Structure 1
Amino acid sequence: MRKNAKEKLKRTLKCLLMGIIFAIGAVMVFVNSGIGHSYIVRSNAEKVSRNLTAKQAIKNAKKSTSYDVTKTKPVTAKTLFNASHYPALPIGRMSIPAVNIHNPVFKGFGTQGQNLSYGVCTVLPDRTLGSENNYVLAGHYMGNYGPAILDNLHLAKTGDVVYVTDMTQIYAYRIEKLTLALDPHQVSVEDNIPGQSSITLITCSDFDIAKYGYGKHRTVAQGTLFAKYPATKANLIKYELANRNVSNNQPQPQHKTAVSRIQNSPLQRCTLSQIIRIFAIIWVVSMIMLITIIWKE
């Protein structure tokens, strides 16, 4: 009997060891995958912009940054890890409700290029939101996993509205032009148009690699300012610029700005923390079942 119990204990320890090795392997595969990167970036974006106030946004806008595009890198597990060591300070938020795009906005790319791992970034230092200039924002294409950052920009249409806030005012721009195959060196899209308040959103056209190549073309949406609203709590919720936790706990406004054309799957609607909890529960239950089988033999 004692020998049998000792053998079962050995098998239990072996089962636990194999389970731990499997869990570590699964985590490594996840964090190095495109879907893992997408969920991590979405989680990062929500954390750094949580409960952002006008006072904080103004303070963050005064911090030093870099507009050196050569410091930017594709999103990998390594760049996400490195980015976590440097502060990401949002100066506002942006949304395109019609295509389910919601992001914090950052001043420049960050001193170490970290801001692109959290949301969209201003590309030029001399442009201001809502003024007579071209306000240029850039962000990564993460893949159709969530979506994250500007994944759905290629699904936008003329007439869709881009809302951007500095947490003091909300600026509404109507998209008038969408380009899917812009050469990366064609930077004239960033030029100002005299007397016009405009916005330009830029991301990679990696949604169709067979047609556009990987990182070889850019998707660009351009729009013109047509309205401005105070950044009240009600307006932030109405234009989908509020902290996700706040907006999810508030009743929907009577007049919706737009109905999203993008319907995410249940998995895409999950957060990183929810995925971690689900995986942990499955792992624990599996271990309990396997150990129970061992000791019932």
Structure 2
Amino acid sequence: MRKWFKRFSWLLLVLVGLALIFHNQIAFYTLSKFQPTVTQKSVAKGKEKQGNYKWEKVQSLSAQQVLKARMEAGKINFIGYVAIPEIGLNVPISNGVDNINIALGAGTLKENQVMGQGNYALASHFIQGSSGRNILFSPLYYSGKVGQKIYLTDLKKVYEYKATVYKVIDPHQVEVVDDVPGKKMITLVTCDYTAEAGRVLMQGTLEKEMNFKDTPKSVLDKLVMDDNRWVK
């Protein structure tokens, strides 16, 4: 019994040690595999839920936040997806910005935003290091450029934008999320590699609006995570 207990203790110590060493890798791997269930019903419910818009309280992304967010993912009502197929960006959207929801996807930066109207502004995290370059808004930092197609959907409509602006801005330039009279735009914001000194900004103008059911499958395959989740 004593021998068994000693072996078990050593095994436990080894496992704990490995978990500590690979903590970040484990967290970001679980995030890369995250596929929420998004349906027209959940979108409608999510639109009714108020978000948190205190940007200044959002912290830099950590492995602890990712793991906590994964445990609390069931509390989030996602309201659609944003995707830039050319660079592999594809994340779910929810209302507001806090440490939980933008650890799992993109958050709206203003209250009562409507897809296809005004300046639809979204933010998400950038993850440093090669293991995170395809997660959340990291592809925006590494591969974003003017001319790329940006898609939004709430599973009823699909909105196609074309990127017209791509640059690094000062973190205090919050006016980039304001509506511009007469324009239908999208604004995507994430950190640059410094995490504090700059923000990567992509803006696009609306070019096309389609009914979800009429959207080519070639677009839908890149826009939503799993066609088994297109539940009416």
Q: Shorter chain as normaliser: what TM range? A: 0.7 to 0.9
Match of 2:180 among 178, 182, 193: 193
Q: How many angstroms does 1:14 deviate by?
A: 4.6
Q: Distance in 2 between matches of 1:120 and 1:234?
A: 23
Match of 2:33 among 43, 48, 51: 43
**Paired residue for 1:243?**
225
Q: How many angstroms does 1:166 deviate by?
A: 0.7
Task: Tell which structure's C-alpha radius of gyration is larger.
Answer: 1
**Paired residue for 1:288?**
none
Q: How many angstroms does 1:42 deviate by?
A: 2.7
Q: Deviations over 1:80-116 (max 9, x none)?
A: 3443347121000111110001100011125xx4211
Question: Which structure is higher in strand share?
Answer: 2
Q: How many angstroms does 1:74 deviate by?
A: 1.7
CA shift in 2, pair 1:145/1:244, >3 Å: farther
**Paired residue for 2:162?**
174
**Paired residue for 1:93?**
81
Task: Give the 3-state SS of the residue equivalent to 1:105 in structure 2.
Answer: strand
Match of 1:23 among 15, 20, 30: 15
The answer on 1:123 being equivalent to 2:109 is yes
Matches within 5 A, 1:78-157: 78-83=64-69, 84-85=71-72, 87-109=75-97, 113-131=99-117, 133-143=118-128, 144-146=130-132, 147-154=134-141, 155-157=143-145
Q: Distance in 2 between matches of 1:174 and 1:64?
A: 29
Task: Give the 3-state SS of the residue equivalent to 2:147 in structure 1.
Answer: coil
**Greater mean alpha carbon deviation, residues 234-243 or residues 184-193:** 234-243
Q: How many angstroms does 1:236 deviate by?
A: 6.1
TM-score (normalizing by structure 1): 0.68
Contact 2:66 2:104 in 1 (8 A): no
Matches within 5 A, 1:58-77: 58-77=44-63
Unpaired runs of at least 5, structure 2: none
Letter in 1 for 2:159: Y
**Paired residue for 1:252?**
none
Q: Deviations over 1:1-49 (max 9, x none)?
A: xxxxx9xx94x76555433321222123323x2x3332233334x1xx2
Q: Distance in 2 between matches of 1:90 and 1:96?
A: 18
Identity across matched positions, percent: 26
**Paired residue for 2:209?**
228
Contact 1:138 1:203 in 2 (8 A): yes
Q: Distance in 2 between matches of 1:236 and 1:178?
A: 28
Q: Distance in 2 between matches of 1:95 and 1:20?
A: 42
Q: How many angstroms does 1:196 deviate by?
A: 0.9
TM-score (normalizing by structure 2): 0.85
**Paired residue for 1:264?**
none
Q: Deviations over 1:57-79 (max 9, x none)?
A: 01111012211113312222332
Contact 2:51 2:111 in 1 (8 A): no
Unpaired runs of at least 5, structure 1: 1-5, 207-212, 248-297
Q: Distance in 2 between matches of 1:145 and 1:236?
A: 29
Task: Give the 3-state SS of the residue equivalent to 2:22 in structure 1.
Answer: helix
Contact 1:135 1:200 in 2 (8 A): yes
Match of 1:164 among 147, 152, 168: 152
Question: Which structure is higher in helix share?
Answer: 1
Contact 1:88 1:118 in 2 (8 A): no
Q: Distance in 1 between matches of 2:112 and 2:126?
A: 25
